[in-house]
Amino acid sequence: YVQIPATPEMCAYCFEVVIAHLQGRPAPPLPANVNPEANHPLFVTFSQTPDDALRGCIGSLRAVPMARAGEYAVMAAVKDQRFSPMRLDELPGLTCSVSILHDFETAPSAMDWVIGEHGIIINFRSDRGDRYNATYLPEVALEHEMTHQSALQSLVKKSGYRGAMDAKLLSQMEVTRYKSTKTKLTYTEYFQKYRTGS
């Protein structure tokens, strides 16, 4: 698929969809400048303004129609099990980010990726044969000042695996690296520039 940029209009749309959901109204239409049938892996993230503390993040590593961005926005707002469902009165303190993922490739080794440039997906099996996987978007390791080692350790924990990340596990781990185009919009920016509903 052709790489397309994430735009502030996509973030504004995600705010609109979440507001409509929390108010019990139908979702608004996708912005005219977004092709609803364009397929891309994408993530919608809400974070607290200004400290960037995560408030919800849901997306797909598989290509999905851009029309599903609103669905992921609602899921990030109310179904991310790491957090309580978002309330309408929280929105003014939040920032919405949309990340469109591209350039997926298998890393030659678990450490062969660039912090701040690549997102990574880890896949591995336990000694019992159970499969585990997890991902971090490109900005996560950089924003949390992780090293390659600490990022992989954190992802192993995120995957649900309870064992140690030892040399054997590292040697068996498959790492896929990818890039993203990302844009973010604070609620204040949304309210001042893009707000269309009540």
Query: Using one digit for the tens of pLDDT, what is the confidence trace for 106-143?
Result: 999 999 999 999 999 999 999 899 999 999 999 999 98
Q: Which residues contact 87 (CB under 8 A, 6 or more apart)?
A: 22
Per-run averaged pLDDT (10 residues), the chain, 198 residues? 78 96 94 86 94 93 92 97 95 96 95 96 94 95 94 95 91 95 95 77
Between CA 58 and CA 197 the distance in angstroms is 24
Torsion sign over Cα 48, 96, 111, 109: positive
Tokens 């019990």, located at residue: 24
Closest listed residue to residue 137, CA positions, set 186, 172, 106, 97: 97
CB 22 within 8 A of CB 70: no
What's residue 3's pLDDT?
63
The distance of Cα 183 from the centroid of its chain, to the nearest Å, equals 12
Torsion sign over Cα 3, 139, 45, 52: negative
What's residue 198's pLDDT?
45
The three-state secondary structure class of 74 is helix
CA neighbours closer than 13 Å in the CB half-sphere of residue 17: 23
What's residue 140's pLDDT?
93
CB 170 within 8 A of CB 152: yes
User: How would you label 112-142 residue by residue, b for 16+ Cβ within 10 Å and e otherwise?
Assistant: ebebeebbbbbebeeeeeeebbbbbbbbbbe
